[in-house]
Structure 1
Amino acid sequence: MTSRFLLAISTSSGVARVAAAAEPLSPLDLAGELFSFEITDYKSQSAQLLPLIQAHFQKVGLKSTECVAIAVDIGPGGFTSLRTACGVAQGLAVAWKVPTVPLSSFECMLPLPMPTRPVTVLMDARLNEIYAATLERLPCGTQWVQPPHLLPISILQTLEGEVVCDSQLFAQITLASDSVKQGEVSAVRLGQLAWQEFAAGRVAGAIDCQPLYVRDKVAQTTTERLALKHGVI
């Protein structure tokens, strides 16, 4: 019977993904999945998240008093999506009196087995740009070889080293390479990594669970869109 678990919430990809991760048997083990679900309808995510979490709790017999922390994918990603995940995580953390474990979308895309060397993770940022970061997981947590940043989409044809791309970018690669793999943001992976963070005491308060925005501007004004259309900027 599960005694303690961690709830993981990710909405950065536009699809809401939620998973409950059981406490690992040892520090070397990965957390087991108790349940997971997705909400693909973008417009209904904020309304469905809490009711579906409660429904899955009842289905598998979990209680909020057994939850030790709320893990949340803080991005980068869509402006509204990230606010939804962080807002729900903050509310549950306050209500259940537990800490949060904020992790990035890049970490949620790390493949299994966990790589022992740096991996470059790329995600579609739209506007002909890519969210990029190079990272590795060590006993002390995530080490950022290159912190989150933006790149032009043209770099897809000049990739080197071990790379993980989301499905949108992977479909645009014309030069095949064994070192470039397709991945996706995973709430299960989020939960597994969050248990490692929780065990090491790397947690945050609800107020510190804030979205990660790599792009300074998330939208253009009407004037800027028209100017761009007519080649002014």
Structure 2
Amino acid sequence: MKILAVDTTSGACSVALYVDGQVVEQFFRAERDHTRRLLPMLEAVLAEGQSSLGQMDALAVSQGPGSFTGLRIAISSVQGLAFSADKPVVPVSSLAALALGARRTHPEWGEAPVLAALDARTQEVYWGLYPQENPTSALIADAVSSPQQVVSVLRTTGHVQEGRSSGRDSFYAAGPGWEYPELAALSPLAVSRESAIHAQDIAVLAANLWGLGIQVSAEELEPAYLRNEVTWKKRERIRPH
């Protein structure tokens, strides 16, 4: 199986080639330079893997949530590639990829789930809770919430014990969203705020989803913003008065 994966969801740009369980990746932190870097990175990864776009079984992309501009760059780029090569696309949750990447870089983490969180601005976070045994399926579905709402849901579901005097919460924490004070005050088993979304993790998740028959055509591919008002707020800021 060959999958070409792309991510520009947040403050990084990455491309990965998955071939029968082996992955090569290019990753750069380039928050405002995605468009210029993406095509050379695609070409470099394919060359390193001695592959061509036509040899791919599918393309994969971070579907979101994440930066509005970053998601549009990734989605439109993969749509164009999929159209030109007549290939299906496997959309992957950026939060699932963030959780899987945190486990990849922290092999010492145990079986508890990972709560992945990205800064959604306006005092909110994108977040989801992902288990070790099935990293493509969320225990708590991807959502956009205030940090206080995240804490409330975690208490309701029993992942945070209210009023405890000691002990740790029953999950690991990953992503820059954990900088918010309300979340930072929790006591996860471990915290990895530096974790980022990588195309190699998107590729691995896409291979699992592909095995389940989950794929879409280029025409059907849509970003998962989680809140449509992000689009309207941006439009209002640039609308002439």
The TM-score range, normalised by the shorter chain, is 0.7 to 0.9
How many residue pairs get aligned? The number is 211
State the 1:53 CA deviation.
Answer: 1.0
Matched, 1:128 2:123: yes
After superposition, the CA RMSD in angstroms is 2.9
State the 1:80 CA deviation.
Answer: 1.0
Equivalent position of 2:176 in the other structure: 167
Distance 1:99 1:137 in 2: 27
Instruction: Report the secondary structure of 2:27's partner residue.
Output: strand
Which residues in structure 2 correspond to 1:197-212 (within 5 Å)?
Answer: 197-212=209-224
List gaps (5 residues or longer) in structure 1.
24-30, 223-233
State TM-score, norm by structure 2: 0.75
Matched, 1:181 2:227: no
Instruction: Report the secondary structure of 1:12's partner residue.
Output: coil
Distance 2:200 2:7 in 1: 10
List gaps (5 residues or longer) in structure 2.
155-159, 161-169
Distance 2:61 2:173 in 1: 21
8 Å contact kept, 1:115–1:136: no
Flag the 1:171–1:151 CA change in 2: closer, same or farther, 3 A.
closer
Q: Deviations over 1:80-114 (max 9, x none)?
A: 11011011111111111211000111110122469
Instruction: Report the secondary structure of 1:103's partner residue.
Output: strand
Flag the 1:200–1:116 CA change in 2: closer, same or farther, 3 A.
farther
8 Å contact kept, 2:113–2:172: no
Matched, 1:32 2:22: yes
State the 1:163 CA deviation.
Answer: 3.5
8 Å contact kept, 1:122–1:163: no
State TM-score, norm by structure 1: 0.77
Aligned residue type for 1:19:
A
Q: Deviations over 1:202-221 (max 9, x none)?
A: 11111122111112311264
Instruction: Report the secondary structure of 1:42's partner residue.
Output: coil
Equivalent position of 2:144 in the other structure: 150
Matched, 1:16 2:13: yes
